[in-house]
């Protein structure tokens, strides 16, 4: 390497590196250290030149069509009725299927609870529509023959008009947000016939364990025999009037057992307004029957559940 090349390389090195190399060389040769470079070791690096901000694009200038995204496909499929509900677009493990999973989880755990606590009675569902929750309850009941070997097996009592929601006449409902917005209206929420529901549920538990009550709650709940006991009620009938139609007779006739669970699917509908829907119905039931209950937690998007300890007219455990 020629001297000029060595100098050229040395001059190309950062001052600190050059200082270190020279220090090592001088130490090896027994010479005093070289002079420190003028630039302080801790000197901050020069500020980089600011990058000029991109010129703002006028919103009116973006007249190009939006690119196709997953949203485009989702909306096309929904609009073409290729899927009946948005969550069916997603994979099973997708986060948006959580509402359904959460409901299934709550109902299944509630069935496990009444078995482990040996709460007396059957399971009733008010509002069956597409059979999702009825099927879930039936599935959760398949091991009852092992858990309840010494008593009559619980029945699954399923109530629905199979005509959708009733005519809405109660003032509480007429003033509620879901009714005013048209989310709930007469005939809404109609999917399965009673026969279709029966086929679905009786493929899971035997026909002797399934009772389907077709008609308005106010009429069909009367068909329950006096010695009926209910350990779990899944109430999914949306309206204030429907809640009262179904549950007043159940409390009045002492059907609901000590320790029973009542799940309300639509608790937080109507902006969670305490003067509407299931919230208002529950408040009225509590004061009318002196119900003592524990709030045992919200679930999914709108649901909540209670465990019943006592109420006026509750029959003793038999
Ligand atoms: C939200 S849907 C139930 C959804 C159902 N649990 C499921 O998993 O698909 C409400 C159901 O309650 C029924 N319903 C509401 N009020 C009723 C009443 N007063 N008498 C009978 N059925 C009623 C409707 O027919 C409808 O099927």
94-117 pLDDT, tens digit per residue, is 665 788 889 999 999 999 999 999
For ligand 1, whether the C-beta of 122 sits within 6 Å is no
The pLDDT, as a whole number, for residue 5 is: 36
C-alpha 129/C-alpha 124 separation (Å) is: 14
Residue 128 Cα to ligand 1 midpoint, Å, equals: 5
For ligand 1, whether the C-beta of 245 sits within 6 Å is yes
At residue 250 the predicted structure's pLDDT band, cuts being 50, 70 and 90, is very high
Whole-model pTM: value is: 0.75
With beta carbons less than 8 A apart as the criterion, state whether 150 and 257 touch.
no
- Judged by phi (left if over 0) then psi (alpha if -120 to 50, else beta), residue 258 lies in beta
The pLDDT, as a whole number, for residue 150 is: 66
At residue 281 the predicted structure's pLDDT band, cuts being 50, 70 and 90, is very high
For ligand 1, whether the C-beta of 132 sits within 6 Å is yes
- Tokens representing 86 are 């948005």
For ligand 1, whether the C-beta of 303 sits within 6 Å is no
| Residues sharing a CB contact under 8 Å with residue 317, sequence separation 6 or more, in sequence order | 120, 257, 258
Residue-wise pLDDT tens digits, 124-176 = 999 999 999 999 999 999 988 887 766 789 999 999 999 999 999 999 999 99
Ligand 1 nearest atom to the CA of residue 126, by list position: 12
C-alpha 309/C-alpha 318 separation (Å) is: 16
Residue 92 Cα to ligand 1 midpoint, Å, equals: 25
C-alpha 173/C-alpha 169 separation (Å) is: 7
Q: Which CATH code, of 3.20.20.140, 3.40.50.300, 3.40.190.10, 3.40.50.150, is assigned to 95-310?
A: 3.40.50.150
Residue 307's SS3 state is strand
What rounded mean pLDDT belongs to the chain? 83
Average pLDDT over residues 291-300: 97
- Tokens representing 89 are 């677009």
Residue-wise pLDDT tens digits, 205-220 = 999 999 999 999 999 9
Angle between helices 277-289 and 240-252 (to 10 degrees): 20
- Tokens representing 3 are 């001297």
**How far is the first Cα of the chain from the last one, in angstroms, to the nearest whole number?**
106
């Amino acid at each position: 390497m020629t001297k000029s090349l060595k100098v050229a390389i040395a001059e190309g090195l950062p001052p600190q590196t050059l200082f270190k190399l020279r220090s090592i060389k001088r130490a090896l040769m027994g010479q005093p250290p070289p002079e420190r470079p003028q630039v302080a070791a801790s000197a901050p690096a020069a500020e980089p030149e600011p990058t000029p901000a991109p010129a703002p694009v006028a919103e009116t200038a973006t007249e190009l069509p939006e690119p196709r995204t997953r949203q485009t496909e989702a909306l096309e499929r929904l609009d073409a009725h290729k899927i009946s509900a948005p969550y069916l677009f997603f994979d099973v493990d997708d986060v948006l299927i959580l509402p359904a999973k959460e409901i299934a989880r709550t109902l299944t755990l509630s069935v496990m609870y009444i078995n482990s606590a040996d709460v007396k009675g059957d399971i009733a569902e008010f509002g069956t529509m597409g059979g999702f929750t009825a099927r879930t309850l039936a599935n959760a009941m398949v091991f009852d023959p092992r858990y309840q070997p010494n008593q009559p097996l619980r029945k699954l009592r399923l109530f629905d008009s199979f005509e959708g929601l009733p005519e809405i006449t109660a003032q509480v409902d007429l003033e509620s947000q879901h009714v005013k917005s048209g989310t709930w209206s007469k005939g809404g929420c109609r999917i399965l016939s009673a026969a279709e529901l029966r086929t679905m549920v009786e493929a899971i538990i035997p026909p002797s364990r399934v009772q389907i009550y077709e008609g308005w709650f106010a009429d069909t709940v009367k068909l329950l025999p006096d010695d009926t006991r209910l350990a779990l009620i899944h109430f999914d009938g949306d309206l204030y009037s429907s809640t009262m139609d179904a549950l007043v007779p159940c409390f009045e006739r002492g059907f609901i057992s000590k320790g029973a669970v009542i799940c309300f699917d639509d608790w937080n509908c109507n902006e969670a307004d305490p003067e509407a829907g299931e919230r208002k119905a529950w408040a009225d039931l509590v004061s009318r029957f002196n119900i003592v209950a524990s709030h045992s937690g919200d679930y999914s998007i709108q649901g909540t559940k209670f465990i019943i300890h006592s109420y006026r007219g509750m029959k003793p455990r038999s």
